[in-house]
């Protein structure tokens, strides 16, 4: 851990000066209390640094969660072994294709009508919206059809195996288009509110809402609804993937262990004796004993972890490897052949669209995990057998 300023502490050994400067700006906001914790996977984001943990009192900055509200991971350990999976008599390509047919990978408006697990999740979200005065249809008319869809970028579905050879279902997704539109609306609302105040912001994207403003409470209500949408979105897809794995194996899947964890969200927590609004942007909850998930990049290791409750780190931990190259730079630097070499032995769709997800475009996950040694303990190390990505 390194103290950067009196209000900024960093656990990142792999970090550039631009990222540090962005984090300094966030930490300097007057309502940040006590300090910002910069995670090992930190890199530049929009407004606030991805991989930062920001406690605030009496105010909230919507950009410190970002536009993929509630994004996170879910993982399930099954009773199957890698040996049994590979010896099933069928190719892993068949399982990948089954998953790709079962889980909508395209934008939400093109998804099938909701049914089964998705219908139950929609009913729960409708009730939550009514109870909390949330208006999701004002942001995305067809938000129900987005539930149970993966999305592109670094979102994924994986079948992996741990150090004991146990097979896991592992996936990463968020609140889809409805969460994105909610976030953008309140980021713009905060900018309008802040522009009317006689305070110069260090960056326009650090615009904020204060707790004496109705928009502050409206944002938090919509934020928490979108976080629940994201959690249920993962739960629905998890059920569909588990169903396909069971069909592939010819046996019902037993859920030996399960973890579902957000990494873009705000929660009310107590730190250093104060009640704060804690925004984790690209960071997971790492209170003592809390299970978490830290994925690497496409083709590299992922980790099932338990929090150590490090108070200086605001009881948080990294959410992944963190980008080292922008998507544009990655596409200019690496080729589809480079990705093929990095994905050797892993079943995946061989498309040029995924070149910007090559492991070389991310930080070394082993270095990130070494930096996180004071934040979490590692319970399982997963290696990928099969990878599904959206477009």
Residues whose CB falls within 8 Å of the CB of residue 158, separated by 6 or more in sequence, listed in order: 168, 169, 170, 171, 302, 382, 384, 385, 386, 387, 388
The active-site residue, picked from 43, 222, 319, 380, is 319
Write down the pLDDT at residue 109: 52
Q: Which helix (H) or strand (E) holds 24?
A: helix 17-27
The structural domains of the chain, ordered by start, are 71-258+288-324+362-388 (3.90.1860.10)
Whole-number Å distance between alpha carbons of 184 and 68:
10
Catalytic residue list contains 319: yes
Residues whose CB falls within 8 Å of the CB of residue 377, separated by 6 or more in sequence, listed in order: 305, 306, 308
Helices and strands in the chain, H and E counts: 10, 17
Among residues 276, 133, 125, 129, which one has the least CA distance to residue 215?
133
Residue 378, beta-bridge partner list: 305
Pairing type for strands 166-173 and 72-81 reads antiparallel
At residue 295, does pLDDT exceed 80?
yes
Pairing type for strands 36-43 and 8-10 reads parallel
pLDDT tens by residue, 212-256: 999 999 999 999 999 999 999 999 999 999 999 999 999 999 999
Cβ atoms within 10 Å, residue 100 = 17
Whole-number Å distance between alpha carbons of 264 and 67:
9
Whole-number Å distance between alpha carbons of 385 and 234:
20
Whole-number Å distance between alpha carbons of 223 and 180:
10
> Contact, 59 vs 208, CB < 8 A?
yes
Residue 224, beta-bridge partner list: none
Residues whose CB falls within 8 Å of the CB of residue 329, separated by 6 or more in sequence, listed in order: 361
pTM to 2 decimals?
Answer: 0.95
Write down the pLDDT at residue 47: 78
Q: Which helix (H) or strand (E) holds 336?
A: helix 336-342
pLDDT tens by residue, 21-68: 999 999 999 999 999 999 999 999 987 899 999 999 999 999 999 999
Residues whose CB falls within 8 Å of the CB of residue 131, separated by 6 or more in sequence, listed in order: none
At residue 117, does pLDDT exceed 90?
no
Residue 347, beta-bridge partner list: 386
Q: How confident is the model at residue 337 (pLDDT cuts 50, 70, 90)?
A: very high
Pairing type for strands 302-307 and 59-60 reads unpaired
pLDDT tens by residue, 142-156: 899 899 999 888 899
Alpha helices by DSSP H, listed for 147-282, are: 176-195, 214-249
Residue 181 is encoded by which pair of tokens?
Answer: 């539109």
pLDDT tens by residue, 59-107: 999 999 999 999 999 999 999 999 999 987 789 999 999 999 999 886 5
Q: Which residue has the higher pLDDT, 265 or 118?
A: 265
Pairing type for strands 50-56 and 274-281 reads antiparallel
Q: How confident is the model at residue 317 (pLDDT cuts 50, 70, 90)?
A: very high
Write down the pLDDT at residue 198: 74
Whole-number Å distance between alpha carbons of 111 and 89:
32
């Amino acid at each position: 851990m390194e103290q950067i300023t009196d209000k900024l502490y960093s656990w990142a050994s792999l970090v550039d000066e631009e990222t540090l400067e962005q984090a300094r700006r966030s930490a300097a906001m007057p309502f940040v209390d006590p300090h910002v914790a910069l995670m090992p996977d930190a890199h530049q984001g929009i407004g606030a640094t991805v991989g930062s943990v920001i406690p605030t009192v009496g105010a909230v900055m919507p950009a410190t969660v970002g536009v993929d509200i509630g994004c996170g991971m879910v993982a399930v350990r099954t009773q199957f072994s890698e040996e049994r999976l590979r010896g099933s008599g069928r190719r892993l390509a068949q399982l990948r294709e089954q998953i790709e047919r079962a889980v909508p990978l395209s934008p939400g408006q093109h998804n099938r009508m909701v049914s089964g697990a998705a219908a139950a999740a929609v009913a729960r979200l409708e009730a939550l919206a009514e109870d909390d005065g949330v208006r999701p249809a004002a942001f995305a008319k067809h938000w129900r059809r987005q539930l149970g869809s993966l999305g592109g970028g670094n979102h994924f579905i994986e079948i992996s195996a741990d150090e004991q050879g146990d097979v896991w279902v592992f996936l990463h997704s968020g609140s889809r288009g409805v969460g994105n539109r909610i976030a953008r609306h309140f980021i713009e609302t905060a900018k309008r509110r802040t522009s009317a105040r006689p305070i110069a912001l260090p960056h326009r994207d650090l615009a904020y809402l204060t707790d004496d403003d109705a928009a502050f409470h409206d944002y938090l209500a919509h934020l928490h609804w979108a976080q629940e949408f994201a959690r249920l979105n993962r739960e629905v897809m998890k059920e569909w993937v588990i169903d396909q794995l069971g069909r592939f194996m010819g046996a019902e899947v037993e859920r030996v262990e399960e973890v579902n964890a957000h990494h873009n969200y705000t929660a009310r927590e107590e730190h250093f004796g104060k009640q704060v609004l804690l925004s984790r942007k690209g960071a997971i909850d790492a209170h003592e004993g809390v299970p978490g998930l830290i994925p690497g990049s496409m083709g590299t290791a992922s980790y099932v972890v338990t929090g150590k409750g490090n108070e200086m780190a605001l009881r948080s931990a990294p959410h992944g490897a963190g980008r080292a190259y922008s998507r544009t730079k990655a596409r200019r630097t690496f080729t589809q052949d480079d990705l093929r070499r990095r994905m050797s032995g892993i079943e995946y769709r061989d498309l040029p669209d995924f070149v910007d997800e090559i492991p070389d475009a991310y930080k070394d996950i082993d270095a990130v995990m070494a930096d996180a040694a004071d934040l979490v303990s590692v319970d399982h190390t997963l290696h990928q057998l099969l990878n599904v990505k959206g477009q």
